[in-house]
Amino acid sequence: MKTVRVLIVDDHRLFRSGVRAELGPSIQVLGEAEDVESAVASIAELKPDVVLLDVHMPGGGGQEVLRRVLGSGAQVRFLALSVSDAAEDVIGVIRGGARGYVTKTISGAELTDAIIRVSDGDAVFSPRLAGFVLDAFASSEAPPIDPELDSLTQREREVLRLIARGYAYKEIAKELFISVKTVETHVSSVLRKLQLSNRHELSRWATARRLV
């Protein structure tokens, strides 16, 4: 089994060491960073496969790291890890280029699983993120500008709904009589839409959730 090389970016030292201790043997932690500056520098230096990225950090937060690293064309994958449940943060960091979003209450085994999935180029959706996506892509009066990007297929909706109901990929595959690989393909496709869609509702929806 190949090992995945990981960098942990979080401004809480206790949390960093906690994650380090919980990760499975297939994960090799290259280092830790505690703010935007050191994160950008460490990514350039250590070239990890996956960066575990905290959303809220001094100096601009996870989105700033995404902007600076992905803007420079580096080939590195990000998994966002946060305590925040705010739609603005979740949607923001995914649109910033992260390939997944999990909350910090996730168990060590599940996190290990998620890191391996992200390192393989797949997407990781928490139940809450799936709920947000369903909500954001739900009813809209305005016709989509780009039908391919601006709406979900029936199958993608089914997959997201099962994720929101708390199903693991394996359980979803069993439920829908498809392979786990197909489930992964659907989720990756949703992630692409989420990142590329120009639906202005998406950003507006995320901010509106906070303003009410």
Partner 1 sequence: MLREMSETPTVPDAGPRLVRPASGRVVAGVAQGAAAQLRLDPVVLRLGFLLLTVVNGLGVVAYAALWMFTPKEEAKGPEPARDWGQFAAYGVLWVAVAGFGWITGAFDGGIGTWPIAAGGIGALILWQQADPSRRQRWMSGAVRQVNTGWVRTLIGALLVVVGAFGFLAASGELAKAKTGLVFTAVVVGGMLLIAAPWLASLVKELQRERTERIRQEERAEVAAHVHDSVLHTLTLIQRNAHDAREVTRLARSQERELRNWLYQPKQDADATLAAAVRRVAAEEEDAHGVPIEIVCVGDCDLDERLGALLQAARQAMVNAARYSGASVISVYAEVEPDEVTVFVRDRGKGFDMDDVPADRMGIRQSIIGRMERNGGSARVRTEPGDGTEVMLTMKRES
Q: Minimum distance from CB of 9 to partner 1 (Å)?
A: 22
Nearer to partner 1, 40 or 111 (CB): 111
Nearer to partner 1, 74 or 138 (CB): 138
Which stretches of the chain bind partner 1, using CB under 8 A?
84-86, 127-128, 130-131, 134-135, 138-139, 161, 164-167, 209-212
Q: Minimum distance from CB of 154 to partner 1 (Å)?
A: 14
> CB–CB of 39/33 below 8 Å?
yes
Q: Minimum distance from CB of 210 to partner 1 (Å)?
A: 8
List helix spans (H) across the chain.
13-22, 36-46, 61-71, 87-95, 108-119, 127-136, 147-150, 154-164, 169-176, 180-196, 200-211
At 68, list the tokens.
């600076």
> CB–CB of 24/108 below 8 Å?
yes
Nearer to partner 1, 75 or 105 (CB): 105
Q: List residues bridging with 132 in a β-sheet.
A: none
Nearer to partner 1, 22 or 135 (CB): 135
Q: Minimum distance from CB of 207 to partner 1 (Å)?
A: 12
